Structure 1
Amino acid sequence: MALWRFAIAGFCFVGTYEAWSKPQFWVYFTFQTGFVLGIVMLWAGAATLLKGIQPPAWPKGCLTVYAIVTALVAFFLMPPDDPAYVPQVIGIMTNTMLHKIAPIMAVIDFVLFDPHRRFRWHYMFSWLAYFPAYLVFVLARATIWPGSGPAAGGSPYPYDFINLDALGWQGFGISCGKLAIAFFVISLVVWLLDRALPSKALLG
């Protein structure tokens, strides 16, 4: 179990390493949540190995929600990565590590290795606080540094579905509303899954 968690952390850190030389990449939702997931999984792996204190339930559940969001966006909303432009480590594209492998492993970790029935009812709402904060960050950054990238042509908007310049305020609001509903549904599913699973970890 410790090695599994260290592997998730490794995929997260390798998947985000480009941002240390290209800081504009930190505007990506997946880079932010992926890096935090790596830190929490490193903590969880060390705690498992040393029989120490595990990460609290709230951040573990929150990151599980955002791991699912990351994977769904990668599989269904984003175009396929081009191996000619995306770095590869051990033959795997770093975007694949960050957007697909690490999130899937994180969900498996939550289901199999975490104790359950720890989430309070309000967690499904408080987990969502990051989403509006992220949108405010993206809009503020775009206003202050309009040509800062990382998107093509220097656009400061990291994703087409929150590109205010392309969508306009109405389209932006509709898109954000749809995303908020999707986030809440995923949050609710994670909360219900936690309630449905036995309190003791299935493995480990």
Structure 2
Amino acid sequence: MSDLRLTPGRSTLAGVGALVGWLALALQLVLSIQLALGNARSAGWGVFMYFGYFTVLTNLLVAVVLSAAWTRSTAAFWQLWRRPGVTTGVAASITVVGLVYFFVLRHIWAPQGLLWLADVLLHYVMPLLFLLWWWLAVPARGLRWRNLPWWWAYPLGYLVYAMARGAIWGVYPYPFVDVATLGLGRVAVNAAGILAGYSAIALLLVAVGRVKPRP
């Protein structure tokens, strides 16, 4: 599949999105450290908790992809992140971030101030902005259904990572993967449901990619 061919307007959108994404991630990191210190924990604990969230890790991927789209570098690292198969996998993941937060997680807390700002940017603004950029800029006609198993690697890898953190340190990032509270069987059912939703979103993006106008 060919790399992105960006017009100046689409490149600018990618640059703006990358800037917003990195700023939101930086804000969330500062807030995570502050929350840890406020709870008599170390700054290192705040960083540890920060990197435990699928939201943060996926927004990092989004920021890297948008940065790759904005930069003119021909380095292999940046070219990798411009590939339609990679950008579409990231699009599916950030869509899951927004949908799971809206339907499952937003009811369990009420952030205020800068916490609210970081929450909105990471869970709503960045998913919508990235999907808009994907629609405008990614030549997705060459995507195939067989891409799906490759895209599974990220959410499944994250699940293993989250379970390992919970087993070792006793902290789970989300209530629906809390083995200590729900038990392994229930967590497995929850994970299967989210993976099924992720798969449906990814396949929808493949279908949409085949009919959307050429960028």
Work out whether the TM-score is over 0.5: yes
Q: Which residue of 2 aligns with 1:128?
A: 152
Residues 83 and 131 of structure 1, relative CA distance in 2, 3 Å threshold: closer
Q: Which residue of 2 aligns with 1:69?
A: 96
Aligned-partner Cα distance in 2 for 1:16–1:112: 24
Q: Which residue of 1 aligns with 2:56?
A: 31
Q: Does 1:57 align with 2:84?
A: yes
Residues 74 and 86 of structure 1, relative CA distance in 2, 3 Å threshold: farther
Aligned-partner Cα distance in 1 for 2:177–2:62: 23
Structure 1 residue ranges without an equivalent (≥5): 147-155
2:141–2:210 contact (8 Å) kept in structure 1:
yes
Q: Percent identity?
A: 22
Q: Does 1:171 align with 2:195?
A: no
Shift of 1:74: 2.1
CA deviation vs aligned residue, 1:17-50 (integer Å, no higher than 9, x gap): 23364211110001001011101101101249xx
Shift of 1:83: 4.2
Q: Which residue of 1 aligns with 2:208?
A: 193
Residues 83 and 137 of structure 1, relative CA distance in 2, 3 Å threshold: closer
1:50-129 to 2 correspondence within 5 Å? 55-79=82-106, 82-84=110-112, 86-87=114-115, 93-129=117-153
Letter in 1 for 2:158: Y
Shift of 1:104: 0.4
Residues 163 and 86 of structure 1, relative CA distance in 2, 3 Å threshold: farther
SS in structure 2 of the partner of residue 38 of structure 1:
helix
TM-score, length-scaled by structure 2: 0.78
Shift of 1:107: 0.6
1:11–1:98 contact (8 Å) kept in structure 2:
no
2:145–2:203 contact (8 Å) kept in structure 1:
no
Q: Which residue of 2 aligns with 1:140?
A: 164
Aligned-partner Cα distance in 2 for 1:157–1:181: 21
Greater percentage in helix:
2
Tell me the C-alpha RMSD between the 2 structures: 2.1
Q: Which residue of 2 aligns with 1:19?
A: 29
Shift of 1:118: 2.3
TM-score, length-scaled by structure 1: 0.82
CA deviation vs aligned residue, 1:109-131 (integer Å, no higher than 9, x gap): 11122223121332122111111
Aligned-partner Cα distance in 2 for 1:187–1:60: 11
Q: Which residue of 1 aligns with 2:172?
A: 157
Residues 144 and 15 of structure 1, relative CA distance in 2, 3 Å threshold: same
Aligned-partner Cα distance in 2 for 1:84–1:121: 42
Structure 2 residue ranges without an equivalent (≥5): 1-9, 34-45
SS in structure 2 of the partner of residue 77 of structure 1:
helix
Letter in 2 for 1:45: W
1:40–1:60 contact (8 Å) kept in structure 2:
yes
CA deviation vs aligned residue, 1:86-127 (integer Å, no higher than 9, x gap): 436xxxx01111111011011111112222312133212211
